[in-house]
Amino acid sequence: MPRTEKYLDYSTTNQRLPCNIQNTLKTISQLWACRSLAFPATLFLAVCIVFFSFPISTLAEESALDLRVGAWNLEHLDDSNDEGCVSRTNDDYAALAQRIEDLGLDVLAFQEVENLAAARRVFSEKWNIELSNRPVVSGPPCRENRNNRLGHLATGIAVRDGLEYHRNPDLTDLDVDHPSRRWGTDITIIVDNEELRVLSVHLKSGCWSKREDTNVSKKAACTTLREQIMVLKKWIAERHEDGQSYVIVGDFNRRFTAPNDWAWELLAEKVPTLALASNTKSSICNPKYPLFIDHIIFDSATKVTMVPGSFEEVERVGKHPDHCAISAHFSSD
The reply to whether 169 and 44 lie within a common domain is no
* Predicted model pTM: 0.81
The reply to whether 13 and 117 lie within a common domain is no
Number of structural domains (the chain) is 2
The reply to whether 275 and 175 lie within a common domain is yes
Q: Give the rounded percent of residues in the chain with a pLDDT score beyond 90.
A: 70
> How confident is the model over 67-95, as pLDDT tens digits?
999 999 999 999 998 888 998 999 999 99
φ and ψ of 78, to 5 deg: -100, 165
| CATH label of the domain that carries residue 233 | 3.60.10.10
Mean pLDDT, the chain, whole residue set:
86
Neighbours of 330 (CB within 10 A): 26
Q: Which residue in 143, 23, 159, 171 sits closest to 84, CA to CA?
A: 143
The reply to whether 44 and 132 lie within a common domain is no
Q: Which of 264 and 4 is assigned the larger pLDDT? A: 264
Residue 15 has pLDDT above 60, yes or no: no
The reply to whether 105 and 215 lie within a common domain is yes
Residue 272 has pLDDT above 70, yes or no: yes
Sign, Cα dihedral of 69, 186, 228, 181? positive
The reply to whether 57 and 178 lie within a common domain is no
The reply to whether 55 and 43 lie within a common domain is yes
Domain that holds residue 30: 3-61
Q: Which pLDDT belongs to residue 233? A: 98
Helix axis angle for 19-33 and 39-53, nearest 10°, is 170
Instruction: Give the integer Cα–Cα distance in Å for 275 and 306.
Output: 9
Q: Which amino acid is at 77?
A: L
The reply to whether 44 and 97 lie within a common domain is no
Asked if 199 contacts 185 with a C-beta cutoff of 8 angstroms, the reply is: yes
